Every structure is written in structure tokens, then in C-alpha cells.
Amino acid sequence: MATSIASVKSIKTLKTPQILKLGLHGTWVMSVLLMALSIAGVQTQRQAVQTIGKDAAPSIINAQRIKDSLVDLDANATNELIAKPGQNPAAVKAYGDRQKKLAMLIVNAAENITYGDAERQPIEQLQVELGNYMMLVQQARDYHQQGNTNSMLIAYRNAAKTIDNNLLPTADELNEVNWRELERIYAQQQNFRQGSIGLILFAGAGLVGVLVALQLFLNARMRRTINPFLLLATILAIGSVLDTTHIFLSTGHNLKVAKEGAFTSLHALRQGRAIAYSANAAESRYLLDKAFASSHEQAFFRHVDRIAKLPQGMTYDRLLAEVRSGKLPTGFSGFMADGLNNITFPGERESAVKTLDAFARYLAIDAQIRQLETSGQHQAAVTLCIGTNPGQSNWAFEEFKKAHLETMEINQKEFKLAIDASVNTLNGFEVKMPVLMGAIALLTLLGLRPRLREYLL
């Protein structure tokens, strides 16, 4: 208390020029502080936008696409093997196309390594295990051509183990590395943004306070009314604080739309798509390997439940009727339920319902396949499984994929728009802020300089 009183007394003993110089220097110091805090905060925001929008999110999507392609590669290999040699050229072509796409996706992942060995090691493992898988599939193909069914099944089972136990977990690992980083940066950004706004408001209040105090001092001590330079400096200071706060809030909102609105749905949709490919592969495995048909059937329905698990006793017709009316029944779970629970953008609900409807049609055809197989009509079941005509399984799966892609594209578009809006909001700030603070410092000098000169005469 004694120190504070002494400080007040010492200020009161200062002469007018000393007080004006103190105010001038105080304005400069607070301008520099406000500029430093604002630029540091914006750079942290920009890094969060870069990590979420340009590094982690694309890598997560790429990892999910790798997983899609791996399972579809296996489904095509299986579809080739359940038909007689040379009778399913579409599966052979699709296998080759997926092989090329996988190579491209793995190259993309390698080119976008951001987190060191945590990403590099899974990518290297994918390359090694993919080579092993393709070698085993080729063995199965060779035995298939020779009519050696037992050896073909042994080779294919080893290939299936490679993809199930090695390749898919490795793709998941690559996904998780980037997902954890995205979650960490997003949470960090939210906390830092709130703290930065508080510090900027504090520094801004200090700057405005010094300018207002100088204006009041000139009015009281020197009988001046309004100093136009100080008034303009004060307006600029208030405007700078409001603009910076708006930038922080706007960027935070855009990141929330991108992460919680668009990307959460997109991630769930991508995961659901990968599981759908797994279900489709399990359907083909069910027909290929009769010794393990029961295991493949159980795997199929496990995958289906992860995509869309209906409440007990509910049919898809009833579920679709409720979803179309805007209701989500209690007990409905899975990736499709997650997506319907996170409807954010125009057209998203309609597209999600269309996807659910297409999935229901696919499951209805799958039930026909199993009925044919259990009734001893194996060839008819195979034809229905690998057929691409309307009413056949591969046709229905393609229709599901198209509807599903529409929903993903809605969220992908909104994610990109939100990230681009964040980038545009932050662009040029490091140039604008020093100019504004420099203008405030110069205006303060211009406002006080004539008064200081009066004491030199």
C-alpha cells in the first residue's frame, strides 16, 4: 500500500512534458504488446487450421480409403475365385484397378508424412504386407486355373489372414495416428483461443486506457477540447481489438463447423464405408469357403451391425418410415445412426435416408443369396452374388456406394468451405496488425508533439 501511494505521489509530482512523454511511451509499449499477442494468437490459429484441414484430416481420409481399397481388393479376388476360371473378367479387372488405386493411395500417404515414424512405420508395413497378400492371391489364382480347389482354398485362407490380421489393423493404425493429432490440436486450439482473446482484450483495454487518459489529461491540464489525432488513434485501437477478437471467434466457429459438423460425420461415413466393403467381402467368402461358411456368415452380420443395428423386432421398412419422418428410434446404432444423429447441412438427411434405403435393398438380396445356398442352389447363389444387373448383389452394393458417396460429398464440401473460410479470415493479418499499431503510435506522436513543443519555446 505504501509503495502504491508513493507511486501516485511521484506521478503527481511529474511535470506536464514528463507525463506526456510517459503517455506516449506507454502507448507505444501497449501497441507492441497488443500486436505481439495478436500475431502469436493468429499464428497458432493458422497452425491449427493447417493441421486439421491440410495435414491430419486428409491423411485420415487417405487411410480410410486405403482400408476401403484393401477390402474391395479382397472381395474382387474372392469373386474371381467363386466363379469358374475365366468366367468373371469383371472381377479380374476390378482387382487390377484396385491394385493401382492402392499403390496411388500409399504413395499419397508417404508424401504427406507429418508425424515421423508414427506414420512412416505403418506405411512401410502396408507395402510389405500388401506384397505378401498379392503373392498369396496369385497362388490361389494359379491353383484355381489348375482346378486344385483344396490348394486354392489354403492359399486364399492365408491371403485372407494377411489382410484381416495385418493389413487392415495397419491401416487403422495409420488412421489413429492422425486422428489423435487432430483431436489434440483441436482441443489445444479451443483452449488457446479463449486465453488469447482474454489477453488481447486486456492489452487492448490498456492501450485504449492510456489514450483516453492522455485525452482527459490534455483537457484538464491544458484546456484542450478534443485532440483529433488521439481520437483517431483511440478509434483505431478499439477497431483493432474488435477486429482481432472477431477473427479469433470466426476462425473458431469455422473450425468447429469443419471438425464437429463436417468431419465427424465424414469420418463416421468413411468408417462405415470400410465396414460395408468388409461385409461385401464376407458375403463372397461365405460362398467360396464352405468349411468356414458359418464363420464368414457371422462376420458378415457383425459388420452389418456396426453399420446399422436395428432395435429388436424392427424391420428396415419401419425404420425408414420413422427416419423419413425425422425420428430416430431408440436402440438404433451403428455408423449410419451416428451420421443421422449429426445432421448439420442442407440435403444431408435426404442423402442419408437414401443410403439407408440402398443398404436395406442390398441386405434383402443377401438374404436371397443365403437362402439359395442353404437350399443347395450354389451356382444360383454365386450368380446372384457376383452379378451386376439390377436386382443382383454387386449392383445393389454399387447403388449403396453411390448414395453413400453423395452424403460424404456434402460433408466434404462443407469441410472444405469451412477450412477455406478460416484461411481467408487469417490471411494478411501479420501485415495488417503492424500497420495499424504503427498508425496508432504515429497518431499519438502527432497528437502530443505540438503540446511538447510548447514547453520547448
pLDDT confidence of residue 229: 93
* pTM of the entire predicted model: 0.82
- Which of the residues in the chain have pLDDT under 50? 1-9
Which H, E and C letters describe 325-361, residue by residue?
CCCCCCCCECHHHHHHHCCCCCCHHHHHHHHHHHHHH
Q: Is 445 exposed, middle or buried (0-12, 13-18, 19+ CB in 10 A)?
A: middle
Task: Flag whether 10 is in a domain.
Answer: no
| Dist CA 272 CA 211 (whole Å) | 59
Overall number of domains in the chain: 1
- Establish if 385 belongs to a structural domain: yes
Query: What pLDDT shows up at residue 5?
Result: 44
**Per-residue model confidence (pLDDT) at position 159:** 97
Identify whether 3 is part of a domain. Answer: no
Tens of pLDDT, residue by residue over 405-430, are 999 999 999 999 999 999 999 999 99
Nearest 10 degrees: CA dihedral of 360, 363, 364, 367? Answer: -160
- pLDDT, position 36: 95
Tens-digit pLDDT profile for residues 92-111: 999 999 999 999 999 999 98
Domain of residue 163, residue span? 21-454
Let me know if residue 115 belongs to a domain. yes
Position 182 in a domain: yes
pLDDT at res. 450: 80
CA distances to 62, 245, 397, 422 from 53, rounded to whole Å, are 13, 22, 31, 10
Q: Which set of grid coordinates corresponds to residue 338?
A: 451416428
2 within a domain of the structure (yes/no): no
| pLDDT for 97 | 95
> What is the distance between the alpha carbons of residues 51 and 415, in angstroms, rounded to a whole number?
14
- How far is Cα 250 from Cα 364, in angstroms, rounded to an integer? 47
Q: Is residue 43 part of a domain?
A: yes
Number of CB atoms found within 10 A of residue 82's CB: 22
Query: Residue 2 has what pLDDT?
Result: 45
Give the pLDDT of residue 314.
92
The C-alpha cell 490459429 sits at: 45
pLDDT at position 344, please?
A: 84
Strand blocks (E) in 78-147 = none
Q: Are the beta carbons of 356 and 323 closer than 8 angstroms?
A: yes
327 located within any domain: yes
